[in-house]
Amino acid sequence: DQQVKQNSPSLSVQEGRISILNCDYTNSMFDYFLWYKKYPAEGPTFLISISSIKDKNEDGRFTVFLNKSAKHLSLHIVPSQPGDSAVYFCAASAPRGAQKLVFGQGTRLTINP
Amino acid sequence: DGGITQSPKYLFRKEGQNVTLSCEQNLNHDAMYWYRQDPGQGLRLIYYSQIVNDFQKGDIAEGYSVSREKKESFPLTVTSAQKNPTAFYLCASSISGHSYNEQFFGPGTRLTVL
């Protein structure tokens, strides 16, 4: 049972435009959400997070939006840059399993010059 | 520099052999984790440890074993009982006891069974 889903395996965006990556979850107990970026043959690096008490968190070019009623979150990158080309994972955790993250399948983002 | 190291980067194993993957952190984190990544899939939790001398099974613990004798180290043994061990293995750590949990990852070990 996939509790965190990223339904788009890949996304292609032109440099300078906005990239929007989506993530859906099914477990209503999740209260903290994170986005990680991963290059091939490397470990993921943390990008941005949001707790369920907020609906938006911004850090430079990266903004995460959370819609709790729809159980949906999205990551916006604007403007997109070639270095943003990577696989992006969303992850979620619940209070009782505070030390456990559940990851989505990932979305491969390609930024075209 | 603080961080997480995993060794080796690439590892080859013959069928039927056990192999141990190393993970060391100098971030003074209490919690450590092992994940497995397969092509086209997300990270799946194998084992995690919140404190020294204590660990719990994750979602796919069968065929794996761990130990946590030191705060800095969390080695993973892939045993011959693991049916499909070829994968990319990632170790992570986080500050334990904090409900908002950012995990820091090592560079990973790619295991190939010949």
Q: pLDDT tens digits, residue range B59-111?
A: 999 999 999 999 999 999 999 888 899 999 999 999 875 657 689 999 999 99
**Beta pairing class for A62-67 and B31-37:** unpaired
What is the interface size between A and B, counted as CB pairs within 8 Å? 65
- Shortest Cα–Cα distance, B41 to chain A (Å): 5
Stretch B23-42: mean pLDDT = 92
Whether residue A6 has pLDDT greater than 70? yes
Average pLDDT over every residue of A68-95: 95
Q: In terms of C-beta density within 10 A (0-12 exposed, 13-18 middle, 19 or more buried), how is residue A28 classed?
A: exposed
Is pLDDT of A98 > 70?
no
| pLDDT (average), residues B25-38 | 94
Amino acid at B78: V
CB contact under 8 A, B4 and A93: no
| pLDDT reported for residue B97 | 54
User: Average pLDDT for residues A27-38, to the nearest whole number?
Assistant: 93
Q: Rounded to an integer, what distance in angstroms lies between the CA atom of residue A3 and that of residue A88?
A: 17
- What pLDDT score does A97 carry? 55
SS3 sequence, chain B?
CCCEEEECCEEEECCCCCEEEEEEECCCCCEEEEEEECCCCCEEEEEEEEECCEEEECCCCCCEEECCCECCECCEEECCCCCCCCEEEEEEEECCCCCCCCCEECCCEEEEEC
Q: What's the confidence (pLDDT) of residue B104?
A: 92
Quote the Cα angle for B95-B3-A74, to 5°: 65
Q: Which residues of B touch A104 (CB under 8 A)?
A: 42
- B7 token code pair: 């060794």
**Residues in chain B, total:** 114
CB contact under 8 A, A105 and B99: no
Selection from A41, A90, A24, A102 nearest residue A62 by Cα: A90
Q: Which two tokens stand for residue B30?
A: 């209490």
Q: What is the pLDDT of residue B112?
A: 94
